[in-house]
Chains A and B, each alone.
Chain A
């Protein structure tokens, strides 16, 4: 790809999704944009870029931005946040909320492994918290990633990355060469396409938000915007879980650092009324 084409894509990513696309990483642009060019009927990435400059179609811009935003995902990635959710956050929230729903959001859920991991955990611990109601939401910028997430279909390679074998046989069926998550887990999740730097003023009332490995891939002003949006979406006393190495971005954001790296909590002042 020509340097000016990479620069244009980087600018579009920054403007539309806040994503940091490093123009020096030529291979990344080639890998991500090759399939977009083929899908959109262009002979090459150079043709795709030429078409973009000529037509400036919103649909084409988003196809490029979404392809560049595609993230890596695996079941129970990093494990610790899921242990923390099962052992500390969920029991505390179940006690505080009583029969009110506990709302959990996997923001930027990519192809769904994180949100499905949370839904499996909730399913497995439902007997420990009788009466507790969990509502689970998954969102992502990419329509294509969401489509795959919603399908609940994964390859053998994908289900072997992070998923304990007992969870695989408990929650998945094998269909030909693919593994399909059970309808019970799939139907427990509500999905929505969301741009985390967009207007999220109507997204409210969450008790736990997982947003991991997202801030690290964003330009600094977008990081601030996402943190503001997610903080506003939390209930008082709600938890924001980011990657442990992303915690730095949340310093001085009006969030209280929890006992675990990457876990932050909003003020609980009004929790009694919530």
Chain B
């Protein structure tokens, strides 16, 4: 079973995302900020990361840039999931190595569609 690391400082968002992604067949791991997520990736690289942008300690963009520098860090698909919905922000995420991008609020239909586009389901 493939693993998805959900990175979001909101416990509620993590819970909602977990339910949706478990239904899509993923094993779930959780992290509350970018630093915790990076530590997790150094231990066991996930197949997919669902990534919030604005978080304490280390934000999503900093995490993504750090991840892509790690050995094997180019492999996971990274899907941003954030309230940042300006074109400039989306472009910055893509240029930093994001594969897909979800603008909050999201629902199961949007997550399933975005994961399908990224070839994840």
Question: Footprint of B on A, CB under 8 Å?
Answer: 74, 79, 156-157, 160-162, 164-166, 168-169, 172-174
Contact call A165/B90, Cβ cutoff below 8 A: yes
Q: How far is the CA of A11 from the CA of B8 in the complex (A)?
A: 52
| Sample of 27 A–B contacts (CB below 8 Å) | A79-B116, A156-B85, A156-B103, A157-B110, A160-B102, A160-B103, A160-B110, A160-B113, A160-B114, A161-B109, A161-B113, A162-B113, A164-B117, A165-B90, A165-B98, A165-B100, A165-B101, A165-B117, A166-B94, A168-B90, A169-B87, A169-B90, A169-B91, A169-B94, A172-B87, A174-B85, A174-B87
Given contacts A160-B102, A165-B100, contact A173 B114 (CB under 8 A): no
| Interface majority SS (helix, strand, loop, mixed), chain A | mixed
Question: Footprint of A on B, CB under 8 Å?
Answer: 85-87, 90-91, 94, 98, 100-103, 106, 109-110, 113-114, 116-117
Listed from nearest, the 4 A-B pairs whose CB atoms lie closest are A165-B101, A160-B110, A164-B117, A169-B90
Q: How far is the CA of A162 from the CA of B118 in the complex (A)?
A: 11
CB nearest to A156 among chain B residues: B103
Q: How far is the CA of A157 from the CA of B100 in the complex (A)?
A: 15
Q: How far is the CA of A166 from the CA of B98 in the complex (A)?
A: 10
Q: How far is the CA of A168 from the CA of B85 in the complex (A)?
A: 11
Q: How far is the CA of A23 from the CA of B85 in the complex (A)?
A: 42
Query: Which of B86, B113, B116 has the most A CB atoms < 10 Å from its CB?
Result: B113
Which residues on B sit within 8 Å (CB–CB) of A162?
113, 117
Q: How far is the CA of A172 from the CA of B114 in the complex (A)?
A: 17
Which residues on B sit within 8 Å (CB–CB) of A164?
100, 117
CB nearest to A160 among chain B residues: B110
Q: How far is the CA of A79 from the CA of B115 in the complex (A)?
A: 13
Contact call A161/B91, Cβ cutoff below 8 A: no
Q: How far is the CA of A169 from the CA of B84 in the complex (A)?
A: 14
The smallest beta-carbon distance between A249 and chain B, in angstroms, is: 27
The smallest beta-carbon distance between A268 and chain B, in angstroms, is: 34
Which residues on A sit within 8 Å (CB–CB) of B117?
162, 164-165
Which residues on A sit within 8 Å (CB–CB) of B90?
165, 168-169
Beyond A79-B116, A160-B106, A165-B114, 5 additional pairs, beta carbon < 8 A: A74-B113, A161-B109, A161-B110, A165-B101, A169-B94
CB nearest to A172 among chain B residues: B87
Q: How far is the CA of A164 from the CA of B117 in the complex (A)?
A: 6
Which residues on B sit within 8 Å (CB–CB) of A173?
87
The smallest beta-carbon distance between A157 and chain B, in angstroms, is: 8
Contact call A165/B94, Cβ cutoff below 8 A: yes
Q: How far is the CA of A47 from the CA of B14 in the complex (A)?
A: 48
CB nearest to A177 among chain B residues: B85
Q: How far is the CA of A162 from the CA of B109 in the complex (A)?
A: 10
CB nearest to B109 among chain A residues: A161
